Structure 1
Amino acid sequence: MTDRLGPIPFEQLSDAQRAAAQAVIDGPRGALYGPFVPLLRSPELMAAAQRMGEYLRYRSAIGVRLSELAILVTARQWTQQVEWAIHAPLALANGIKQDTIDAIAARRRPAAMAADETLVHDFCLELHQRRQVAEPTYAAALALFGEQGVVDLIGINGYYTFLSMVMNSAQTAVPASPAAPLPE
């Protein structure tokens, strides 16, 4: 598979592209990689996406551990190898069990999750597969996370779906990772 929208040499970047790239590099990500490589073709879109993603990934109302779980469920739904390569190790480092990660990769329901993980898993699957969230699942999420947490959880699913669409279309190169690739 060819990386359709690969890296642009620094000297070929426009001023707007250079500024957008620098904002990513100067932020918590520390480098320009993954979805930001193809998104650099639209620097204003990239800048807006980067700001949203920075909030959702690092400061969402549901916390990093559950955000990483939601990212994995989304990456699996889209078979998005770059997101999986980046976020499976982060999920593990933030407290998601390897058995849970392996089950999501295999499209199986994880056998043993914490109650909050089960709720996030089910909420994400319903949103992706049914295009809505059942009332009992929504009510449980609202009770546990509050309105901001529910909106942030929806936002994580939407944001990482957007990134998956970008990278699947661009055929973005998968970085080296300790995580096994997602099975097709």
Structure 2
Amino acid sequence: MADRLPPIAFDELNEDQKVAAQAIIDGPRGAVYGPFVPLLRSPELMGHAQRMGEYLRYRSAIGVRLSELAILVTARAWNQQVEWAIHAPIAAQMGIPPDVINAIARREQPEGMLVDEAVVHAFCVELHRDKQVSDHTYGEALALFGEQGVVDLMGLNGYYTLLAMVMNTARTEVPPSTAAPLPE
């Protein structure tokens, strides 16, 4: 299937798009890729989204390792190949074991997770599957991460759901990756 909203050459961008693109290029991402390619059609939305994402991905109260785990569960819930291609290798670099990553890809319950990983996984799975989180799982997350951590975890799920919806609709091209694609 063809990419519905493919990349636009920088010299073809309007002034608002150039400003929004340059903000991403100058930030920790270093380039306009993935969800920001289709979002560039709405530069103000893209600007707000990228600032939220920058916080959630790089500075959330639960830390990068657990944020990457939450992103993988969200990517799997939405069958989002671009998120998976980008974030599965990052999750592995941050210390999420390959067996955990592979189990998430197969929609299986991972074994051998650390306590904080198991709580994040349960929280994210429940939120995507049940559209809410049980009292038990919420209590575990609250005890481990505090209120800010729980809110950031909800934010990670919501933000990466937004990006998954954008890329699934736009049919954003999957970048080269060391990660195997998500199975059907």
* Fold match by TM threshold 0.5: yes
Q: Residues of 1 paired with 2:33 and 2:121: CA distance?
A: 27
Q: How far apart are residue 77 of structure 1 and its match?
A: 0.3
Aligned counterparts, 1:7-18, within 5 A: 7-18=7-18
Q: How far apart are residue 11 of structure 1 and its match?
A: 1.5
Matched residue SS, 2:178: coil
Gap runs ≥5 in structure 2? none
Question: Does 2:22 match 1:22?
Answer: yes
Q: Residues of 2 paired with 1:4 and 1:99: CA distance?
A: 34
Corresponding residue number in structure 2 for 1:41: 41
Q: Residues of 2 paired with 1:11 and 1:141: CA distance?
A: 46
Runs ≥4 residues deviating over 6 A: none
Over the matched positions of the two proteins, sequence identity in percent amounts to 72
Structure 2 counterpart of 1:108, one-letter code:
E
Matched residue SS, 2:60: coil
Q: How far apart are residue 24 of structure 1 and its match?
A: 0.4
Matched residue SS, 2:157: helix
Aligned counterparts, 1:129-144, within 5 A: 129-144=129-144
Q: Residues of 1 paired with 2:33 and 2:24: CA distance?
A: 9
Deviations 1:118-163 (CA, angstroms, capped at 9, x unpaired): 0000000000000000001001111110000000000000000000
Corresponding residue number in structure 1 for 2:111: 111
Q: Residues of 2 paired with 1:127 and 1:49: CA distance?
A: 21
Question: Does 2:160 match 1:168?
Answer: no
Matched residue SS, 1:29: coil
Structure 1 counterpart of 2:52, one-letter code:
M
Q: Residues of 2 paired with 1:22 and 1:166: CA distance?
A: 21
What is the total number of aligned residue pairs between the two structures? 184
Q: How far apart are residue 12 of structure 1 and its match?
A: 1.2
Q: How far apart are residue 74 of structure 1 and its match?
A: 0.1
Q: Select between 166-175 and 3-12 the one with higher mean Cα deviation.
A: 3-12
Deviations 1:46-88 (CA, angstroms, capped at 9, x unpaired): 0000000000000000000000000000000000000000000
Q: How far apart are residue 111 of structure 1 and its match?
A: 1.2
Corresponding residue number in structure 2 for 1:79: 79
Deviations 1:76-110 (CA, angstroms, capped at 9, x unpaired): 00000000000000000000000000000000000
Gap runs ≥5 in structure 1? none
Q: Residues of 1 paired with 2:151 and 2:21: CA distance?
A: 28
